[in-house]
Structure 1
Amino acid sequence: MKKIKILAMLFASLWLSSCEKYLDINQDPSNPQVAEGHVLLPPLLAGMMRGEAFDSRYIGQYIQNWHSSGGGNTWDRHGYVAGSDAAGEKWRQHYFALGQNIVLAIRDGQEKGKWDYSGVAKAIQAWSWQSTTDYHGEMILKQMFEPNRYVFDFDKQEDVYAEVVRGCNDALTDLARTDGIVSMISLARGDLVYKGDRTKWIKFVYGILARNANHLSNKSTYNPDKVIEYVDKSLASNADNFNVPHTGTSTADGNFFGPTRNNMGSYRQSAYMVSLLNGTVFKDVKDPRLALMLTPSVDGTYRGVNTTFGDPNSGTAATRIATLWNTVPGVATTALDGRYIFSDKADYPLMTYFELQFIKAEALFKKGDKAKALEAYKNGIIAHLAYAKATAKEQTDYLASAAVVDVDADLKLSDIMLQKYIALWGHGCLETWVDMRRYNYSNEVYTGFTLPIGTQLSADNGGKPAQRVRPRYNSEYVWNRNSLDIIGGNNFDYHTYELWFTKK
């Protein structure tokens, strides 16, 4: 028996020794355990788009880009769905989809001298901090990814804003380095957006800084010159737009807003957006973008849904309000239109030249330089008309119309912000929501805009509009409720609490 035991122990020792070598996947080039930057970057870009697009559906209702086809929808009423992850994708994007993957990408870049990859990863992280805090408010910053911790404290939004600036500066430092093994060809392996062009990533970082600085317009520390400086260093034309591409062959690689994925089938274009393009708000001028961005009802008339009321003509085929993609007039009813950003292969823009020109116009207007503000305002309009594929004649005619201010003395803040609203419709919902909250949903700034009031608002709101989105339910409300108590996150009306960046 003793011999058997010794032989058994010897066999086990030999088996474990050989198995240890066999299972050491770090030594197997076919199965690397440490992911490299070019492998990590594509899913990071996809995560950015996913977080923004998923939650834009809900925020698009707050800002009246679109509404539900059914009346009384909670998001149309500035409410939320308790016990649900609805509108929690930005939180998941930041801490899970990007989260540790960005940490790995930064580490891989720094350890191997791939400063372009580490710079890009830092830029994405700064973008995520900025867009997520503008969406949720307080976030977990200092204790993020701290090991052996099961509950996490929330940090103030001003600390997150400072982290955005720090992260952007770190990204700029890395992106400017030419030592190590920096290579456009190497970066292009994973860079689906800018194809390895670091100069465009640098412009993107300055765009983040421009947003960060401009969002503080209600603060005494607001510096319009700094905003203008950042914009001038950022995207220089539509060729610099941050577009996440889609192959569009299936639900797996199709645009989130495309008809194949059918994520927008229950939504209808808003009456407010129609009013901005059909001549109601802009002095009887029919905007060429009406036919390029929106869809007509079956009878050819452009209609939109009013907030909280749903589609009033859902049962009348001749007058039914159009979905965001509609049947092409004169074509079989099964043929989906998929115009503008709603086609399966459409790129999803996360930052655009025209947005930044409107940011510059606003900063110049606040500075008191109306002549240059008018120039930036027109640059934004021209760029978006081109983006929407308006013809040269349509662009010329629209710029000469009464809808576009031609004398700097006549320029108003509402002129700038309304054109920015049109330009960001659909893909820039979260930035538009930042703007609307900065101006307290003012109908003097957003001509014709009307918030739901009284019983039109969600019962939890206490008569107030939404100001933030609650953190993701399956993260914070399941296991971090005590930390939420400190910031009021368990209160029914937490989503109506004003954020730091909007306060004076």
Structure 2
Amino acid sequence: MKLYKYLVLISIAITASCSDDYFDVNSSETNPTTTSLAPQYRIQGAIENTTAQAQYRGSREVLGVTQYGSQNVASYYSETWRDEFTTGRYFLWQNAYVYSLPNTADLIVLGEKYNSPNFTAVGKILRAYIFGMTTDQYGDIVVEDTYDGVSSMNITPKFSTQKEVYEVIINYLDEAIAELDKSSAIGLNEEGGDVLYQGNQDSWKKFAYAIKARYLNHLSKKSTYDADAVIAACQLAINSNEFNAQKLYGGSSVSNDIQPFSSGGYGSSRMDYFSDFFVKLLKNPLNIDGADWDPRLTIIVPEAVNGGYEGVVIGRGLAGISGNNFSLGNGGFYTSANSATDMINYSEVKFIEAEARFRKNDLSGAYTAFKAGVLADFEKLGVDAQSTSDYISLLDEKVGATNISLSHIMVQKYIANVLNPETWVDMRRMDYSAEIYHGLQRPENVNLAIFPNDDDWIQAMVYEYNEEDRNYENMPDNDPYVRLTTPVWWNTPD
């Protein structure tokens, strides 16, 4: 059952497109990696590499931007936007193109070869998801010239504009939805490899519609933004926590069975503590005078050794203060060894719908969707019935259809999407507004050489140095003074 993992990793290492080091082998550098293995032996690797490689890396380095977690030392590079950020040593690019996308390409090819369009569909859904995360962090990326499972690989590929990438994403999702309605020779969970939905094709369709809603909603600053299309996708998407797209972890001693951000996980060092911003926001997400508690706080954030719930200021570190005064980043609902990684969940779908309805001035519909999103998050976290009822009563009293705002929607979405790189998309779309995310400030010790003004925030990532060394003629301007400060396409109003 586990044989496919090693075959996949070996084949990927041979054909990797993002580092010359991977080419130091005694076989072809550019041949396709697809083998005689049937697709049921490849699906688990495709899912796990999407979450544990691409999504994890996309989340880890932007913690200093999304401000969920903080380091125990001051001026850490990812919190102050310097060093690796400016030299291209941030590796979402490698994790996407080397470890994750080749698996999806092979699934597409093998699904076609074995008369199993359900596998082709899953390959396209995961491919759309990875392309989406990658373009949202970099802007223009490689799409058409990347590894496709059939052709010899082009190691100096051309870049596609972000607008073109978004068209590819939506096309992949539409094709996948149609293919999931076709009969297939092999079931998705034939060998127990569908660790996301256990072979349920209707659930995969809900997932595809949820991603489609997410990416259509990213266009909120473009003239082509279509709130009705976003709402229509939401209505066909994930409609309960039962269908959340999440990679589950067992919490065992096996490294790939541990939540990456948990103690002992390979990303645990980036979550030394929860951040001051997140803890304060979670104490009073509705920004109500006199309120200082939310029932989700004690579920998400561990209590400090010295008692209470306090977070570390991003970029400051402990500054000579005992770490026992602060809430550890490991051990809460999202950062325990058996915590899941959410790709997209029911709460997010409802908050997407709430935003779309708000933008078309359907305030009653926006509040209904907003409240459903909050309820879904409470249910996911296991908040008790009385606390849930009290909180919803508070929403009805203080918010309601008459007072619903983008701030209400985006703050609750922020809480429901802990450690999801999608949060960085939202923060940029909202222009890092402290009126939307009350209390939001830039990190301390921020890189003033590139970000000299108080309203200067990071907008995109520098392309990886390996890509620049080999493919500089095709890649966009990678000067950090340009890359880090230039908004991506969807964040530029028409």
| TM-score, structure 2 as length reference | 0.86
- How far apart are the structure 1 equivalents of 2:450 and 2:336? 36
In the alignment, which residue of structure 2 is the partner of 1:172? Answer: 177
- How far apart are the structure 2 equivalents of 1:159 and 1:109? 25
Among 383, 405, 413, the residue aligned to 1:412: 405
Tell me by how many angstroms 1:401 deviates: 2.5
The 10-residue stretch of structure 1 (233-242 or 118-127) with the greater mean CA deviation from structure 2: 118-127
Q: Which runs of 5+ in 2 are unaligned?
A: 1-33
Tell me by how many angstroms 1:384 deviates: 0.5
CA contact (8 A) 2:69 2:273 kept: yes
1:97 is paired with a residue of what secondary structure?
helix
Structure 1 residue 194 corresponds to structure 2 residue 197:
yes
Structure 1 residue 467 corresponds to structure 2 residue 471:
no
2:431 is paired with a residue of what secondary structure?
coil
In the alignment, which residue of structure 1 is the partner of 2:297? Answer: 290
- How far apart are the structure 2 equivalents of 1:341 and 1:46? 17
Output the aligned Cα RMSD. 2.2
The 10-residue stretch of structure 1 (412-421 or 492-501) with the greater mean CA deviation from structure 2: 492-501
In the alignment, which residue of structure 2 is the partner of 1:362? Answer: 355
Tell me by how many angstroms 1:94 deviates: 2.7
In the alignment, which residue of structure 2 is the partner of 1:264? Answer: 268
Sequence identity of aligned pairs in percent? 26
Give the 5 Å matches for 1:325-344.
325=330, 338-344=331-337
Q: Please tell me whether Structure 1 or Structure 2 has the larger radius of gyration of its CA atoms.
A: 1
CA contact (8 A) 2:91 2:464 kept: yes
Give the 5 Å matches for 1:8-407.
33-50=35-52, 51-81=54-84, 86-89=89-92, 91-145=93-147, 147=152, 149-178=154-183, 180-183=184-187, 186=190, 189-250=192-253, 251-261=255-265, 263-265=267-269, 267-279=272-284, 281-283=287-289, 284-312=291-319, 314-315=321-322, 317=324, 320-325=325-330, 338-401=331-394, 405-407=398-400
Give the direction of change, closer, same or farther, for the CA distance of 1:111–1:391 in structure 2 (3 Å limit): same
- How far apart are the structure 1 equivalents of 2:358 and 2:351? 10
Give the direction of change, closer, same or farther, for the CA distance of 1:479–1:184 in structure 2 (3 Å limit): closer
CA contact (8 A) 1:244 1:349 kept: yes
CA contact (8 A) 1:467 1:497 kept: yes
Deviations 1:351-376 (A, max 9, x none): 10001100000000001001011011
Give the direction of change, closer, same or farther, for the CA distance of 1:349–1:164 in structure 2 (3 Å limit): same
CA contact (8 A) 1:71 1:309 kept: yes
Among 411, 415, 421, the residue aligned to 1:422: 415
1:355 is paired with a residue of what secondary structure?
helix
- How far apart are the structure 1 equivalents of 2:378 and 2:362? 25
CA contact (8 A) 1:65 1:425 kept: yes
1:341 is paired with a residue of what secondary structure?
coil
Give the direction of change, closer, same or farther, for the CA distance of 1:93–1:35 in structure 2 (3 Å limit): farther
| TM-score, structure 1 as length reference | 0.84
In the alignment, which residue of structure 2 is the partner of 1:332? Answer: none
- How far apart are the structure 2 equivalents of 1:62 and 1:148? 34
Q: Which runs of 5+ in 1 are unaligned?
A: 1-31, 326-337
- How far apart are the structure 1 equivalents of 2:422 and 2:337? 23
